[in-house]
Amino acid sequence: MPRGRIEIIEEYCKGCQLCVKFCPKDCIEISTDKINPNGYLLPIFVSEDECTGCGICGWMCPECTIDVYRYIEN
Ligand code: SF4
Ligand code: SF4
């Protein structure tokens, strides 16, 4: 059961890969062929099942271009 998800606002990403390096669940990978208009390789959210919604990727992103959502359990 997914506990969180992220959305990356691709146009502001600068491809630094900090989100990739710091995600404790390895939910984000850098693309090998997907680039934004500024020419940066984009990160891809690859593992929604593992995401906890911890927010670390969002805190680490120097461009504040990751929105993090955490699901509330009933
Ligand atoms: S919210 Fe946490 S688990 Fe989910 S992608 Fe970001 S760093 Fe990884
Ligand atoms: S940390 Fe932010 S700017 Fe860096 S690759 Fe991830 S989304 Fe892009």
The whole-angstrom separation of Cα 3 and Cα 14 is: 27
Q: What is the DSSP letter of 11?
A: G
Q: Is 51 helix (H, G, I), strand (E, B) or coil?
A: coil
> For residue 15, how far is the Cα from the chain centroid?
11
Residue nearest ligand 1's atom 2 by CA: 54
* Domains, the chain, with CATH or none: 4-70 (3.30.70.20)
Please, where are the H alpha helices in the chain?
Answer: 18-22, 56-60
The whole-angstrom separation of Cα 70 and Cα 74 is: 13
Interval between CA 27 and ligand 2 midpoint (Å): 13
pTM: 0.94
What are the tens digits of pLDDT across the range 10-64? 999 999 999 999 999 999 999 999 999 999 999 999 999 999 999 999 999 999 9
Does any ligand 1 atom lie closer than 6 A to the CB of residue 46? no
